[in-house]
Chain A
Amino acid sequence: MTTVTLPQGEVALARSIRGDAAAFADIVQEHQSMVFSLAYHFLHDRGRAEEVAQDVFLRLYRHLASIKSEDHLVFWLRKVTCRRSIDEVRKLPKAPTASLEDIAEPAAESPNLDPLLSRGLRRMVASLSEDARAVIILRYQEELELADIAEILDIPVNTVKSRLQRSLEILREKFHRWAGDVQR
């Protein structure tokens, strides 16, 4: 007789659905970084990102019974976090978009310095429209395929493709201008 052992995540999910708080804590620990980072890269504000991420896990708790597998759980978390983050962005008055002047900080620093470069790029991403931002974050934070992004955002693959290309063009242009400013 062969015994089938379920992966750790599936076990935690099954136990959570039965009301095991410790198992739900394991799920939160496992996915908190993904959910928080999605919200953070969207909102560019740690406080608001934490609020959104907490809200996503509360929703997950309420919907646990409808989660079918570990893969479905990750899909669900990504989808709800993106939707919730888009809502959060739209709810608030238009945040000041990152202009190139804002991004160019100490001129003495080289653009090759990683923290400065990363900060600059994150602010450029935050200046994109919500829909474009979602595609870029899912593509480069979560490293998802276009079809997966399309499924999460509920849009055709071709739309994802065109949004990605357009966003990359904008980002590349901004980046080169910014890099030039910093080097000067």
Chain B
Amino acid sequence: MNPFEEKLRNALRRESAPEGFAEKVLTRVRGLPQPGAKPWQQFGAFFARPVLRWALAAAAVCLVIAAGVVHHERQERLRQEGEMARVQVRQALRIASVKLNVARKKVQEINRETPPSRL
């Protein structure tokens, strides 16, 4: 190694890592799955992370609320359809009743006009 290379070696000698470096790394490592873990264990550990657990809980709550809203809307639609059907049946019965009355009156008129001897 010539003198210039020696200078370069001195300039590029290793430096100490900043204070608390290892602790910071270990803090970040805590949230990770165990190194030798099987894929399914890593999958489990992935979902065991606190942030993810909160996110999953929030997602579950949102899902329950959404399911409730959908169920309520469906019930409401069924109720409205039932109400509409009831109105239609009533109207049909009223029309039928009117028609029957007309027919009954016609029959009565025919009976009155026809002499009993013709019967």
State the A residues within 8 Å of B (CB): 16-19, 21, 24-25, 28-29, 32-37, 40-41, 46, 50, 53-54, 57-58, 61-65, 114, 117-122, 125, 136-137, 140-141, 143, 168, 171-172, 175
Contacts and interface: CB of A to CB of B under 8 A. Distances in A.
B109 interface: no
A46 B18 contact: yes
Across the A-B interface, the 8 shortest Cβ-Cβ residue pairs: A64-B35, A121-B11, A32-B17, A118-B11, A19-B34, A36-B17, A141-B12, A37-B14
Contacts, number: 104
A136 B12 CA distance: 9
B35 A62 contact: yes
Nearest to B28: A58
A113 B79 CA distance: 91
B94 to A, nearest CB: 77
A141 B8 CA distance: 9
Given A16-B35, A19-B36, A65-B36, A118 B10 contact: yes
A29 B22 contact: yes
